């Protein structure tokens, strides 16, 4: 089977399935950064769809392209089109949000959508909030840029939102500065800021990474509750499978700028088929595991995005590829192929063999 013959067919499965277009519909998104050393292919052709009220988890190691994906949806990359010089990102593919293609939209159009229709929750709320403005001022600003209302109206809205995200005494805390908040409170405020315009798409980039474990759980609960209340589409980007287990309906596992496995939460957690997904699951801390076997880190390092390994990008780290595929994984790029309806895996191994390995070797150790 040659590359050309099947790549379009298989990868187009998602497209065919989602026509008419989903609320958020990303097709063959590529984000490349030209550098002096070569082109960094941070995101190299990903496709997914998401409806309102649903949650997509994007999982992967750092450098897998998950954050770049989210920033390109938000239009926060400086694109090559912006500048005369070939700096900044080269973005291709399609990003449809509520029927509008963000890739071809003007920067100004995208700016108007930001904060209004799509909002983002960042990883470290301390550095992500301006240190010199009060929390309230920053929420008010976010509200007023899209709503022509007076300051006092916006302030009421800000207090309302702070209350909604569970900040005690929002009337007074609204005038506090970010550094006066605790980490969890700060993230709540960040969420309030993101939600202030009632966005229909919410992207959370590592929303809990910087937080204590107990606070993490509270924030996840809050996000789930709010998503229900606002009926928004939620994209959660994380390296922590625990987080997506809590929130996600669908999960996309990314590796080296590509999706390696895409399916429902059930698929990914109960019947994962990609060796990389297995690795991720194995490295997830679980209290019920034997102490000695608790964590099994994935061997090796994430791939270079400039000189992507030939064949399957994961093959240098894959314990099975060489033996199971007869060397194909070293040379031939595997396709993202359906292994069951809605469950896509990018692996040369025979699906049956994958399930066999999972059941025999992996499942028990998780």
Of 109 and 160, nearer to other proteins (C-beta) is: 109
Q: Is residue 230 involved in binding other proteins (CB under 8 A)?
A: no
Does 185 interact with other proteins (rule: CB under 8 A)?
Answer: no
Q: Between vectors from CA 226 to CA 164 and to CA 228, what angle results, nearest 5°?
A: 140
Instruction: Give whichever of 85 and 291 is closer to other proteins, judged by the CB atom.
Output: 85
Is 322 among the residues that bind other proteins (CB under 8 A)? no
Q: Which residue has the tokens 């966005």?
A: 199
Q: Between residues 65 and 275, which has the closer beta carbon with respect to other proteins?
A: 65
Residue 88 CB, shortest distance to other proteins, in Å, is 12
Tokens of 272: 């994962």
Cα separation, 230 vs 108, whole angstroms:
26
CA atoms within 13 A on the CB side of 77: 24
Q: Give, as ranges, the residues between 281 and 300 that touch other proteins (CB under 8 A).
A: none
Of the candidates 265, 252, 278, 264, the residue with the CA atom closest to the CA atom of residue 341: 264
Q: What angle in degrees, to the nearest 10, is found between the helix axes of 183-195 and 135-144? A: 10
141 binds other proteins per the rule CB under 8 A:
yes
Number of H helices, E strands in the chain: 15, 12
Pattern 91-130, other proteins, x by CB under 8 A: --------------------xxxxxx--xx-x-x--xxxx
Which residue, 145 or 308, has its beta carbon nearer to other proteins?
145
Neighbours of 24 (CB within 10 A): 25
Query: Is residue 146 at the binding interface for other proteins, with CB under 8 A as the rule?
Result: yes
Of the pair 115, 279, the CB lying nearest other proteins is at 115
Q: How far apart are CA 34 and CA 14, in angstroms?
A: 29
Tokens describing residue 228: 């229900």
148 binds other proteins (CB under 8 A): no
Q: Which residues contact other proteins by CB under 8 A?
A: 74, 76, 85, 111-116, 119-120, 122, 124, 127-132, 134, 141-142, 145-146, 177, 179, 193
């Amino acid at each position: 089977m040659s590359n050309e013959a099947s790549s379009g067919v298989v990868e187009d499965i998602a497209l065919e399935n989602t026509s008419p277009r989903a609320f958020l519909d990303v097709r063959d998104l590529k984000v490349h950064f030209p550098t002096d050393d070569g082109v960094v292919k941070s995101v190299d052709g990903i496709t997914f769809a998401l409806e309102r009220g649903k949650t997509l988890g994007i999982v992967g190691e750092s450098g897998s392209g998950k954050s770049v994906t989210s920033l390109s949806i938000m239009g926060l990359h400086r694109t090559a089109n912006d500048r005369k010089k070939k700096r900044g990102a080269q973005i291709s593919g399609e990003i449809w949000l509520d029927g509008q293609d963000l890739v071809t939209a003007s920067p100004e159009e995208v700016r108007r959508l930001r904060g209004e229709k799509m909002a983002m929750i960042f990883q470290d709320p301390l550095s992500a909030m301006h240190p010199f403005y009060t929390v309230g001022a920053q929420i008010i600003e976010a509200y007023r840029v899209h709503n022509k209302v007076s300051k006092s109206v916006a302030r009421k809205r800000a207090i309302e939102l702070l209350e909604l995200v569970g900040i005690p005494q929002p009337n007074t805390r609204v005038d506090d500065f970010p550094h006066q908040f605790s980490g969890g409170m700060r993230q709540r405020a960040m969420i309030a800021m993101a939600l202030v315009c009632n966005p229909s798409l919410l992207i959370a980039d590592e929303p809990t990474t910087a937080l204590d474990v107990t606070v993490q759980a509270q924030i996840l609960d809050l996000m789930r509750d709010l998503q229900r209340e606002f009926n928004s589409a939620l994209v959660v980007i994380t390296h922590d499978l625990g987080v997506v287990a809590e929130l996600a309906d669908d999960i996309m596992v990314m590796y080296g700028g590509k999706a390696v496995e895409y399916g429902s939460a059930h698929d990914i957690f109960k019947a994962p088929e990609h060796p990389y997904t297995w690795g991720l699951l194995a490295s997830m801390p679980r209290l019920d595991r034997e102490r000695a076997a608790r964590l099994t880190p994935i061997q090796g390092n994430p791939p270079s995005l400039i000189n992507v390994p030939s064949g399957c990008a994961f093959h240098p780290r894959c314990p099975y590829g060489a033996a199971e595929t007869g060397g194909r994984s070293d040379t031939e790029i595997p396709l993202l192929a359906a292994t069951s309806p809605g469950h896509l895996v990018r692996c040369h191994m025979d699906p049956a063999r994958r399930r066999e390995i999972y059941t025999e070797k992996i499942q028990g150790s998780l």
